[in-house]
Structure 1
């Protein structure tokens, strides 16, 4: 994502929106990775909102990690926590949308058994157009089948 788009994000507004949705029960609680007293990453999963998804398809709607924790296993644990949540809620398939230019993210999902399914979408944001591609897999085939992600909290703070 271009720096100009990231600079335009209103972090306080986005955080307030997440807090409101969680508090009102509109979305499942995200999974937090906390090291010391700092949140270093989070993931979120829910039923897919894609028009072509049946009720058994879940979606990892967010997976974010501070740069200094990339490659430490924290991202994998957050992924596993999201997949475990989807399994526990009865989902059997999984999708995730990622920016087509996010090569690191795409490789992360591919290493976990996800495959491009050909779907794309474009969104306009602050005058720029962002293109996302969709990855899909059965939950059975997705990597991260271990139960219980160590060091990941299942509740928002």
Structure 2
């Protein structure tokens, strides 16, 4: 199994993060997003995109789950992007675990770290968006203390629009970080 370390992402992690993200999309969203869209995703294109945006916003925190020097998972936290939210609201933009490592507690560890960082950033409320059909991720988030707040929005994948729902969590109200957090969620709002 190896040693799992959670740490800030570095530029050297970009290829590993992109590999986890793209393989995560292709595994998690099969049947929810058009297959031709998933098949068109490449690690190389994601690396190029990620290199352009990495570190551009100091309020965004990229966290990697490192297992013996390799990226096993990745999560991103920052200010909530929704127009109806306040500066005291944060958002989990992404949480991915390498598909072959799902079920080993990496997702739980990343979620605990992101919620802990939200507390330290003094974000009183934490949001995330998840595809409505992504029942596995929704169960994971619900075990982590998130609940749907009733907001829905379309997300476009290729030429198809798929519905997302917003989840909410209040980190200050959850001092134990819910020890029952499930494993291996894959989600990303954008």
TM-score bucket (shorter structure): 0.7 to 0.9
SS in 2 for 1:23: coil
Give the distance between the partners of 1:6 and 1:92, measured in 2 at CA: 35
CA shift at 1:145, angstroms? 7.0
Q: Structure 2 length as normaliser, TM-score?
A: 0.70
Q: Structure 1 length as normaliser, TM-score?
A: 0.83
Which segment is superposed worse, 97-106 or 121-130?
121-130
Gaps of 5+ in 2: 1-28, 180-190
Q: Cα deviations across residues 31-90 of structure 1 (Å, max 9, x unaligned)?
A: 111112321110000010001111111001000011222221110111111112211111
1:152 alignment counterpart: none
Give the distance between the partners of 2:157 and 2:58, measured in 1 at CA: 24
Give the distance between the partners of 1:106 and 1:116, measured in 2 at CA: 9
Which segment is superposed worse, 87-96 or 7-16?
7-16
1:38 alignment counterpart: 70
Q: 1:17 aligns with which of 49, 53, 70?
A: 49
Does the 8 Å contact 1:94/1:136 carry over to 2?
A: yes
1:144 alignment counterpart: 177
Q: 1:113 aligns with which of 145, 148, 161?
A: 145
Provide the alpha-carbon RMSD of the alignment.
2.0
Which segment is superposed worse, 23-32 or 47-56?
23-32
1:4 alignment counterpart: 36
Gaps of 5+ in 1: 147-157
CA shift at 1:15, angstroms? 2.6
- Is 1:66 paired with 2:98? yes
